[in-house]
Amino acid sequence: MSNISLSPQDQAKREAGYKAAEYIVNGMTIGLGTGSTVAYMMTRLKERITEEGLSICGVPTSIQTTMRAMALGIPLVGLEQVEKIDIAVDGADQVDPELRLIKGRGAAHVRERIIADASERLIIVADPSKICHQLTGPVPIEIIPFSMSHVIRRLSDLGGTVIVREGVKKDGTVISDNGNIILDYTPPAIPDPEGLETTINMIPGVVSCGIFTEFTKKTTVIIGEKNGPRIIGL
């Protein structure tokens, strides 16, 4: 692998993504996450399909991933077409020592949670900047538009700050692939990720927040590092 023109962070992302592609074997159904690190995995997966005749199919978690897979020629199926997903490969914004995650800065965490839940194994690919001692936020939260003022009030009652995510290179709010609004909530602290996840997800109008605590027992984290990928978990 040539590292020409890649920043150290992008080199780390590529190390992690390429390593994740090694876990995929012939006949698997793969959950395809969203984000720049997963994009490297998909590039390597396409190379393996070409070089080895690997026969797989992917279930995408976003329109962006669907478009990238189609451009690479990776076969896709819908979630309704499969009985199970063997492995989901996805990124994360933060990973703590117990493999609890914050996801959703790409506004795809609702579909990513569904795919993770449907998968027998979850592989998280990350660069070292995503590893932390304690989850800190901001926590992305997808909400139905009608509920926005109510959810913001409820979150404000918990303490911390809430902002409505604004689009980049567009006016107005970010709209998810599901047609919903994204809030970014920064609590004072997150000493109990499981408790905060439950509290947020119980607010009427919340579709799902970006704290993922329920998949730790089936999670492997691959961290791209200078001397090669480091693997935590299964």
- Residues 15, 98, 112, 225: which is the catalytic one? 112
Count the neighbouring beta carbons within 10 Å of the beta carbon of residue 141.
28
Q: List alpha helices for the chain, DSSP H.
A: 8-21, 36-52, 63-72, 109-118, 148-158, 193-201
Give the Cα-Cα-Cα angle 200, 201, 204 (nearest 5 degrees): 95
How far apart CA 106 and CA 35 sit, in angstroms, is 7
Q: Torsion-angle region of residue 49: left (phi > 0), alpha (psi -120 to 50) or beta?
A: alpha
- Only one residue has tokens 């020409």, namely 4
Angle between helices 63-72 and 36-52 (to 10 degrees): 30
Q: Shortest CA distance to 17 belongs to which of 123, 106, 138, 136? A: 123
225 classed as catalytic: no
Q: Write out the catalytic residue numbers.
A: 112
